[in-house]
Amino acid sequence: MTKHLVFDVNETLLDVSALDPLFERLFGGSATRQEWFLTLQENWLTATIVDDYRPFGELAKSALAMVGRRRNIKVTSADEQSLINGIMTLPAHEDVAEALELLNSKGFTLAALTNSTLTAARKQLASAQLSVYFEHILSVDEVQRYKPAAEPYRMAARRLGVGTGEITMVAAHAWDITGAAAAGCRTAFVARPGKVINPAGAQPDYFGKTVLEVAQKL
- Min dist CB 142 to a second copy, Å, is 18
Q: Which of 201, 203, 216, 217 binds a second copy (CB under 8 A)?
A: 201
β-pair partners for 66: none
| Residues 132 and 157: beta-carbon distance below 8 Å | no
22-37 in b/e burial notation, b at 16+ Cβ within 10 A? bbeebbeeeebbebbb
Binding to a second copy, residues 28-47 (CB under 8 A) = 38, 41-43, 45-46
Can you tell me whether residue 150 is helix, strand or coil? helix
Residue 59 found at the interface with a second copy (CB under 8 A): yes
Structural element, H or E, at residue 76: none
| Residues 170 and 7: beta-carbon distance below 8 Å | yes
Q: In the chain, helix, strand, coil percent, each to 5?
A: 50, 15, 35
By C-beta, is 102 or 182 nearer to a second copy? 182
Residue 148 found at the interface with a second copy (CB under 8 A): yes
- The 154-183 contact track toward a second copy, x by CB under 8 A, reads --------------------xx--xx--x-
Residue 81 found at the interface with a second copy (CB under 8 A): no
Q: Which residues bind a second copy (CB under 8 A)?
A: 38, 41-43, 45-46, 48-52, 54, 58-59, 61-62, 65-66, 69-70, 148-150, 174-175, 178-179, 182, 194, 196, 198-201
